[in-house]
Structure 1
Amino acid sequence: MFFKQLAAGLAVVAGLGVTSTNALAAYPDKPVTVVVPQSPGGTNDIVARLISDKLAQQLGQPFVVQNKPGAGGNIGTAQVAREAADGYTILFTVSSAQAISPAIFKDPGFDPVKDFAPVAAVGSVPNVLCVHPSFPANTLAEFITLVKANPGKYQYASAGNGSLNHLLGAMLDEKGGLKLEHIPYRGVAPGMTDVLGGQVPMLFASLPSSIATIKAGKLRALGVSTKERNPALPDVPAIGEQIPGYSGELWIAMYVPQNTPKDVIDTLYKATEIALADADVTKKYAELGVEPLSDNPEQLAQRLNDDLKLWSGIVKSSGAKAN
Structure 2
Amino acid sequence: MTAFLSRRKLTAWCLALAAGAAAPLAHAQAPALDGALTLVVGYTAGGSTDRIARMVAERLGPKLGVAVTVENRPGEGGRLAAKEVKRAPAAQNVLMLGNPAVMVVAPLVFKDAGYDAEKDFVPVSQVSSYDFALAVGNKLQLDRAMFLVGRLWAHPEEAVFGVPATGSLPHFFGLMVGDALSVQPQIKGYGGSAPLSADLSGGSLPIAIDTLDSLYGQHVAGKIRILAVSGKKRASFAPTIPTFREAGMKIDADGWNTFFAPASMPPAKVQLLSTKIREVMQDPALQKAANAAYITPIVSTQAETVQMLKAFRQQWEPVVRRSGFQP
Q: TM-score, normalised by structure 1?
A: 0.87
Change (3 A) 1:259 1:142: same
Runs of at least 5 residues in structure 2 that lack an aligned partner in the other structure: 1-19
Q: Is the 1:100–1:308 Cα contact (8 Å) retained in structure 2?
A: no
Aligned to 1:291: 296
How far apart in 2 are the matches of 1:222 and 1:294?
28
Q: Is the 1:126–1:290 Cα contact (8 Å) retained in structure 2?
A: no
Aligned to 1:36: 41
Change (3 A) 1:175 1:106: farther
Q: Is the 1:176–1:243 Cα contact (8 Å) retained in structure 2?
A: no
Amino acid at match of 2:94: T
Q: Is the 2:291–2:297 Cα contact (8 Å) retained in structure 1?
A: no
Change (3 A) 1:133 1:81: same
Q: Is the 1:99–1:304 Cα contact (8 Å) retained in structure 2?
A: no
Which of 189, 195, 204 pairs up with 1:199?
Answer: 204
Q: Is the 1:155–1:180 Cα contact (8 Å) retained in structure 2?
A: yes
1:65 counterpart = 2:59 = no
Runs ≥4 residues deviating over 6 A: 18-25
Aligned to 1:12: none
Q: What RMSD, in angstroms, separates the aligned Cα atoms of the two structures? A: 2.4
Deviations 1:24-61 (A, max 9, x none): 98522211111111221111100001001111121121
Which of these two proteins has the greater Rg computed from alpha carbons?
2
- The structural deviation recorded for 1:185 is 1.5
Deviations 1:222-252 (A, max 9, x none): 0001122212222221113345541221111
SS of the residue corresponding to residue 123 of structure 2 reads strand
Aligned to 1:172: 177
How far apart in 2 are the matches of 1:226 and 1:59?
33
1:116 counterpart = 2:132 = no
**Number of residue-to-residue matches in the alignment:** 307
Change (3 A) 1:218 1:112: same
SS of the residue corresponding to residue 312 of structure 2 reads helix
How far apart in 1 are the matches of 2:84 and 2:30?
26
How far apart in 1 are the matches of 2:78 and 2:104?
11
SS of the residue corresponding to residue 241 of structure 1 reads coil
How far apart in 2 are the matches of 1:184 and 1:60?
45
Deviations 1:165-187 (A, max 9, x none): 11111111122212322111222
Give the 5 Å matches for 1:273-292: 273-292=278-297
Amino acid at match of 1:300: T
How far apart in 2 are the matches of 1:149 and 1:319?
28
- The structural deviation recorded for 1:81 is 1.1
How far apart in 2 are the matches of 1:251 and 1:173?
22
Q: TM-score, normalised by structure 2?
A: 0.86
SS of the residue corresponding to residue 128 of structure 2 reads strand
Amino acid at match of 1:235: T
Amino acid at match of 1:188: S
Runs of at least 5 residues in structure 1 that lack an aligned partner in the other structure: 1-14
SS of the residue corresponding to residue 299 of structure 2 reads strand
